[in-house]
């Protein structure tokens, strides 16, 4: 009698990780019947340290440039490196470190997009008092709501929509963790991409060495403009999400920069059109985008989000029913380990408790109406955010656009009910609502990516959800102190200090609505654009609206990555097995590009912060920029050409990594 044949040992994520299959039948890397260490003390401690460090670094970076760097993949890389150095730790512990650690960046993003407005108002109105406890409590409430409201959506967005929503960063994190454990050719592909991405970021980053212009742009007639932030992380995201979504997003951005900006410029002429304070003819394309297209994009994202929510209502209701049916947590009802969420009664109870606390705590003067709006808007935008990041990733999640929509609606309700007293109280209350909503949306996006990673590798959802809340609370605890220190050192919302561009915009929106000076025409234009995209052209309006809201420079490299993915699919269209292998190789290298570039971006931000604290130099990065002379007028065209050529070389490396022969691991 022949000896039984042992099943082959899995050497990575299965092909079904990238295919449209029933999520309930998907077999993860660690099968449900296998139990490994997960929520261990060492994983929690390392994760909390990463969460605090990444949160502080990204707070500085976002206040300076208005953008944050997603920490999910860098946190996964750090976890892999630490546990390999310790020669102990399971892949599920690695996943837990990444889950806890990445929460800090998402909390920081939501905080810096909104709460610096308090410091901006404080300079002109001494009756507004800001303290670190107030900031930290708002951050904690918002982050916890983001985690809690994502829990009943997990079964639908992560499992049921598996293969339809790629969750690029979540998938990349899974590849990082599996490659770190498997080693061999997978690890070589991943870490070679990581090295290339890190080197590129260090050499090109405008706050790093700036050896070439990483964001070349070509001006066109009537202030139209096309260009690209040619960075490894955006190219990698485009390759992972694929051509369709990348093209739709690029189409929205092209509409804004190639059509709307010229038309607005032509319409405005020499007149001064609010909210800008100078004549339209004196504004550049970037200033027109900043003053007008942001409001168009906010209207488009708000409308598309409402449509998305309405279309998703049946599945959301089903998710809640499933959650209530397994309110005991899953174990008692026989659910496998990989499908067990926190009990629904706990989710609803904590959400209600926080709403009451927000109502009664004097540090957040929102009252019962504001507390109710926080819960309603948070659930809505958590749903929208979680789906957006499933399409395009957390780095391009338009949280600020969703926050603008929430602030506009809240301000209108305040005005309609006569709650606008014309003083600081109404402004602070509206901002508090928007801040909690913004933080919850940002954290929900990160939580969604993390749960996707856990779904692919075989983690236990309820343990990950506990880990997310730990990371949120750790980051929120230090965020108040970070903002207070940065404000006292440089001044938040000041041109010479930390401009806080997103929070400055939020303060303008609140003042505009409460004082009846919001440019409603541009908001309504965005609503109309999203409606046409959804109902006339049958496009996913949310992806299109995101493109309208975000700069075309972000969409161009994402579009290039999507085209490369399409070219790879066509090249190997006749061989599904080989095509799947080449796609996986490309995703591995792209994941490394994202990880390396994001990690170095965070380290640059942290280095700037630390050097600033030691030297007192308000712009310490200028001392290590080698290529700043390239930005002078005489060299700028050549620098842009060099930047484009280097990016083309990066694309070639990605292509060769995808189509190259994989050696045995």
Residues 137-173 have pLDDT tens digits of 999 999 999 999 999 888 888 888 777 788 888 888 8
Average pLDDT over residues 238-242: 84
Distance CA 281, CA 220 (A): 15
- Per-residue H/E/C for 411-444: HHHHHHCCCCCCCHHHHHHHHHHHHHHHHHHHHH
* R_g (Cα) of the chain, nearest Å: 24
Cα 267 to Cα 269: distance, rounded to the nearest angstrom: 6
Q: What is the pTM of this model?
A: 0.74
Quote the pLDDT of residue 473: 95
pLDDT of residue 496: 60
pLDDT higher than 90, residue 474: yes
Quick: pLDDT tens for 552-606: 888 899 999 999 999 998 998 876 668 877 887 888 788 788 878 877 876 776 6
Task: Grade residue 187 by pLDDT with cuts at 50, 70 and 90.
Answer: low
Under DSSP, is residue 596 helix (H, G, I), strand (E, B) or coil? Answer: helix
More confident site: 494 or 337: 337
DSSP code for 161: T
> Peptide bond preceding 86: is omega within 30 degrees of 0, i.e. cis?
no
State how far the alpha carbon of 235 is from the alpha carbons of 305, 480, 655, in Å: 26, 34, 11
Question: Domains of the chain: which residue ranges?
Answer: 34-212+282-538+591-625
Is-contact 299 526, C-beta < 8 A?
Answer: yes
pLDDT tens, position by position, 188-204 = 787 889 899 999 988 88
Q: Which range is most confident: 106-120, 248-262, 302-316? A: 248-262
Band of residue 9 on the pLDDT scale cut at 50, 70, 90? very low
Residue 571's φ and ψ, nearest 5 degrees, are: -65, -35
Beta bridge partners of 498: 492
Highest mean pLDDT (candidates 104-108, 497-501, 654-658): 654-658
When pLDDT is cut at 50, 70 and 90, the band that residue 186 belongs to is low
DSSP string, 55-82: HHHHHHHHHHHS-----HHHHHHHHHHH
Query: Could you tell me if 579 and 586 are in contact, meaning their C-beta atoms sit under 8 angstroms apart?
Result: no
Give how far Cα 329 sits from Cα of 332, 338, 341, 346, 469, Å.
7, 12, 6, 9, 17
Tokens matching residue 86: 């310790």
25 burial level (CB within 10 Å; 0-12, 13-18, 19+): exposed
Q: What is the mean pLDDT of the chain?
A: 82
306 burial level (CB within 10 Å; 0-12, 13-18, 19+): middle
Does residue 4 surpass a pLDDT of 80? Answer: no
Calpha distance 356→371 (Å, rounded): 7
Q: What pLDDT score does 380 carry? A: 83
């Amino acid at each position: 009698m022949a000896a039984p044949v042992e099943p082959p040992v899995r050497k990575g994520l299965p092909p079904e990780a990238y295919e449209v299959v029933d999520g309930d039948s998907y077999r993860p890397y660690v099968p449900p019947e296998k139990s490994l260490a997960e929520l261990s003390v060492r994983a929690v401690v390392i994760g909390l340290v990463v969460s605090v460090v990444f949160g502080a670094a990204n707070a500085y970076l976002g206040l300076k440039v208005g953008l944050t760097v997603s920490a999910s993949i860098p946190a996964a890389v750090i976890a892999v490196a630490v546990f390999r150095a310790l020669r102990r730790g399971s892949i599920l512990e690695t996943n837990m470190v990444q889950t806890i650690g990445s929460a800090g960046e998402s909390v920081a993003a939501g905080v810096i997009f909104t709460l610096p407005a308090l410091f901006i108002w404080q300079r002109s109105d001494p009756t507004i008092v800001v303290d670190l406890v107030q900031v930290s409590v708002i951050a904690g409430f918002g982050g916890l709501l983001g985690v809690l409201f994502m829990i009943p959506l997990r079964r639908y967005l992560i499992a049921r929509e598996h293969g339809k929503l790629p969750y690029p960063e979540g998938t990349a994190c899974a590849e990082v963790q599996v490659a770190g454990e498997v080693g061999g050719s997978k690890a070589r592909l991943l870490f070679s991409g990581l090295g290339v991405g890190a080197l590129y970021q260090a050499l090109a980053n405008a706050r790093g060495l700036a050896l070439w212009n990483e964001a070349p742009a070509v001006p066109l007639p009537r202030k139209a403009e096309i260009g690209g932030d040619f960075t490894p992380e955006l190219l990698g995201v485009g390759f992972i999400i694929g051509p369709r979504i990348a093209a739709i997003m690029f189409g929205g951005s092209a509409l804004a920069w190639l059509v709307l900006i010229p038309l607005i410029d032509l319409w405005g002429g020499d007149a001064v059109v609010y909210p800008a304070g100078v004549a339209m003819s004196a504004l550049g394309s970037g200033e027109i985008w900043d003053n007008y297209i942001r409001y168009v994009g906010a209207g488009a994202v708000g409308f598309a989000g409402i449509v998305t929510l309405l279309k998703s209502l049946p599945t959301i209701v089903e998710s809640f029913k499933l959650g209530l049916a397994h309110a005991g947590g899953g174990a008692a009802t026989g659910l496998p380990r990989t499908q067990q969420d926190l009990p629904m009664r706990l989710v609803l109870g904590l959400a209600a408790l926080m709403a009451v606390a927000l109502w009664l705590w004097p540090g957040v003067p929102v009252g019962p109406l504001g507390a109710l709006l926080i819960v309603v808007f948070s659930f809505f935008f958590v749903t929208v955010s979680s789906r957006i990041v499933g399409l395009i990733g957390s780095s391009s999640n338009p949280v600020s656009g969703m926050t603008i929509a929430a602030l506009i609606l809240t301000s209108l309700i305040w005005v309609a009910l006569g709650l606008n007293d014309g003083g600081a109280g109404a402004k602070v209350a509206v901002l508090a609502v928007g801040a909690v909503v913004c933080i919850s949306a940002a954290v929900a996006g990160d939580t969604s990516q993390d749960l996707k990673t856990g779904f692919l590798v075989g983690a236990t959802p309820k343990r990950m959800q506990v880990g997310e809340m730990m990371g949120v609370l750790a980051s929120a605890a230090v965020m108040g102190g970070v903002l207070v220190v940065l404000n006292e050192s440089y001044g938040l919302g000041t041109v010479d200090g930390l401009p806080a561009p997103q929070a400055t915009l939020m303060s303008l929106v609140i003042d505009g609505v409460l004082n009846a000076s919001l440019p409603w025409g541009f908001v309504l234009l965005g609503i109309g654009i999203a409606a046409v995209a959804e109902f006339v052209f049958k496009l996913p309006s949310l992806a299109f609206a995101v493109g309208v809201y975000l700069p075309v420079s972000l969409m161009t490299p994402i579009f290039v990555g999507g085209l490369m993915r399409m070219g790879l699919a066509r090249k190997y269209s006749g061989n599904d097995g080989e095509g799947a292998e080449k796609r996986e190789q490309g995703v591995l290298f792209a994941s490394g590009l994202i990880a390396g570039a994001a990690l170095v971006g965070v380290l640059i931000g942290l280095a700037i912060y630390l050097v600033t604290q030691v030297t007192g130099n308000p712009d310490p990065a200028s001392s290590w920029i080698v290529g700043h002379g390239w930005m002078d007028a005489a060299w700028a065209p050549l620098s842009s050409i060099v930047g484009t050529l280097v990016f083309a070389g990066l694309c070639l490396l990605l292509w060769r990594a995808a189509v190259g022969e994989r050696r045995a691991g």
